[in-house]
Amino acid sequence: MHPLHCSLPRLASLLCLALATLAGNAHAGRNCDAKPLNVETLTQGLNLAQRTAQVLEAEYQKNGSKVLLLARAGQDLSSYQLQYSHFGWAYRTPEGPWRVAHKLNICGTADGWVYRQGLGEFFLDDLWRYVAAVQVPTPAVQQALWSYLTAPQTVLRMQHQPYSMVSYAWGQKYQQSNQWAIESLAAAMEPATVQQRSQAQAWLKFKGYEPSTLTIRSWTRLGGRMSAANIAFDDHPNDQRFTSRIQTVTVDSVTQWLQRAQLAGAPRVVQ
């Protein structure tokens, strides 16, 4: 887990700026082009973090909600009819501050790791749009996720290091960020029977999850070059890959499924 945190009352502090700089080498849902953090990016990210914190805390005070899906728009996916690129699980710690458990790609490599970050860090990623989405799971789902995310012996259970931004939703060769999050949900909901990724995916299929099918005819860009280390297609079935149909886990497919399966309410936009 990421050892760095940023407390909300100090979002504009120099400490947060330092943390954001350190976190700049890990991204998800967009390419990893080197780009220095500027004042405008810092301000917009921290302002969005503050607005999101207010929404999360209000939800906790009103309904006791302590785990929510939190999504961001890291890159422009409108050509695929998608609004958000990346999500993690935001949870309220026993001490009070909100943290986000999510998986990030180490830029320039084919590796991904699970991080625990404050809201400030979560939104300091040179976003495409400075909007967020929150979705409140049912109380039963929240309790299962909270127990799972806060226990060191379980939170990394579904972590798989080889990373591809477009990993096959039902494969085990690679794992992208949204895939880790939804497989972790399965492990949290069925802790006695879901110990491996294949078992998590079987649970997701049983519950009716359907990944997005992206038509990718250009092999030159999807938020980055197709030859990048963090993009691979060889885990997709040949009959789909050679007809440009890529099934992968997207934020939009997850939020729609959670609502359809009555595991969460409707997503709410924060802007």
Q: How far apart are CA 71 and CA 268, in angstroms?
A: 10
Is 3 within a domain? no
Domain count, the chain: 1
Is 1 within a domain? no
96 vs 71: which has the higher pLDDT: 71
Work out the pLDDT band at 195, boundaries 50, 70, 90. very high
Q: Which helix (H) or strand (E) holds 116?
A: strand 112-118
Highest mean pLDDT (candidates 18-22, 23-27, 133-137): 133-137
Q: Which domain holds residue 101?
A: 8-270
Is 254 within a domain? yes
Q: What does the block give as tokens for 268?
A: 């709410």
Residue 208 φ/ψ region, left for φ over 0, alpha for ψ in the -120 to 50 degree band, beta for the rest = left
Q: How far apart are CA 167 and CA 131, in angstroms?
A: 25
Percent of residues in the chain assigned helix, strand, coil, to nearest 5? 35, 20, 45
Is 259 within a domain? yes
Is 47 within a domain? yes
pLDDT surpassing 80 at residue 140: yes
Please state the pTM of the whole predicted model.
Answer: 0.87
Over residues 63-71, mean pLDDT: 98
pLDDT surpassing 70 at residue 214: yes
pLDDT surpassing 80 at residue 4: no
Count Cβ atoms within 10 A of the Cβ of residue 254 and give its class: 0-12 exposed, 13-18 middle, 19 or more buried. buried
Is 29 within a domain? yes
Is 2 within a domain? no
What percent of the chain stands above pLDDT 70?
Answer: 83
What does DSSP assign to residue 216?
A: -
Q: Decide if 80 contacts 68 (C-beta within 8 A).
A: no
Work out the pLDDT band at 6, boundaries 50, 70, 90. very low
